[in-house]
A and B are shown apart, each in its own frame.
Chain A
Amino acid sequence: QKEVEQNSGPLSVPEGAIASLNCTYSDRGSQSFFWYRQYSGKSPELIMFIYSNGDKEDGRFTAQLNKASQYVSLLIRDSQPSDSATYLCAVRAGNNRKLIWGLGTSLAVNP
């Protein structure tokens, strides 16, 4: 079983819809969770991080964490073509532990 698993996609949504990206992880001791966006040919950029169970909102983005079920998701409301990118999930067991990365989910937002 992969340590951090994401559906590779591509996930295709129409402009204005909600895009839902999911990530599951195997280490029950994981404490911090990160979502990065990577445009083709560019480096990953941080979207948001979450530590506590529940939802965390930042603009059009909402991260949802469920430690009991070992998943973290990212919702993108009012999706725009500029949101088309690969979204990477990363998980850390503690403050000084290595980040474990998923392979990423490719998102395509169609005008």
Chain B
Amino acid sequence: ETGVTQTPRHLVMGMTNKKSLKCEQHLGHNAMYWYKQSAKKPLELMFVYSLEERVENNSVPSRFSPECPNSSHLFLHLHTLQPEDSALYLCASSQANSFSGNTIYFGEGSWLTVV
């Protein structure tokens, strides 16, 4: 139990489907992140929310749409994805501006397969 909970753990979707990934953190943190992890690539930061404001969007295609309704919840809305979007999607949280240098804690991840 990491204090960051992601659902669903596994998702298979067609290219025309719309689905959402959900993340909830119970650590009292004020920053939340979406990362993508693909084979043979370093972790890719997708989005960062700090105090519920999006502070970073790393050239992610518009078929990925994040939403952060409050400091404990984060969503990633998925629409018309491509097979190359199949990956492990990791939610993480941290306490921004903390002494520990924004140490981030990951959820267990959502395995996404686009068919």
Indicate, yes or no, whether A interacts with B. Answer: yes
Residue positions of A touching B, CB distance < 8 A: 4, 31-32, 34, 42-46, 49, 51, 88, 90, 92, 95-96, 98-103
Contacts across chains A and B counted by CB atoms under 8 Å? 49
Tell which of B88, B97, B101, B109 touches A31, judged by Cβ atoms closer than 8 Å.
B101
- Expressed in whole angstroms, the Cα–Cα distance for A88 and B43 within the complex equals 9
* Interfacial chain A residues near B96, Cβ < 8 Å: 96
Q: By the criterion CB–CB under 8 Å, are A92 and B2 in contact?
A: no
Shortest distance from the beta carbon of B42 to any chain A beta carbon, whole Å: 4
Among B2, B43, B88, chain A packs the most CB atoms within 10 A around the CB of B43
Task: Specify the chain A residue showing the minimal Cβ separation from B110.
Answer: A43
Tell which of B2, B40, B88, B97 touches A96, judged by Cβ atoms closer than 8 Å.
B97
Shortest distance from the beta carbon of B108 to any chain A beta carbon, whole Å: 5
* Chain A proximity mask over B56-93: 1 for CB below 8 Å, otherwise 0: 10000000000000000000000000000000101000
Q: By the criterion CB–CB under 8 Å, are B97 and A103 in contact?
A: no
Q: By the criterion CB–CB under 8 Å, are A43 and B107 in contact?
A: yes
Q: By the criterion CB–CB under 8 Å, are A99 and B40 in contact?
A: no
With A43-B90, A43-B109, A45-B2 as contacts: A101 and B43 at CB distance below 8 Å: yes
29 contacts between A and B (CB under 8 A): A31-B101, A32-B101, A34-B103, A42-B109, A43-B2, A43-B90, A43-B107, A43-B109, A44-B106, A45-B106, A46-B103, A46-B104, A46-B105, A49-B101, A51-B101, A92-B101, A92-B102, A95-B97, A95-B98, A95-B101, A95-B102, A96-B97, A96-B102, A99-B45, A99-B102, A100-B42, A101-B42, A103-B41, A103-B42
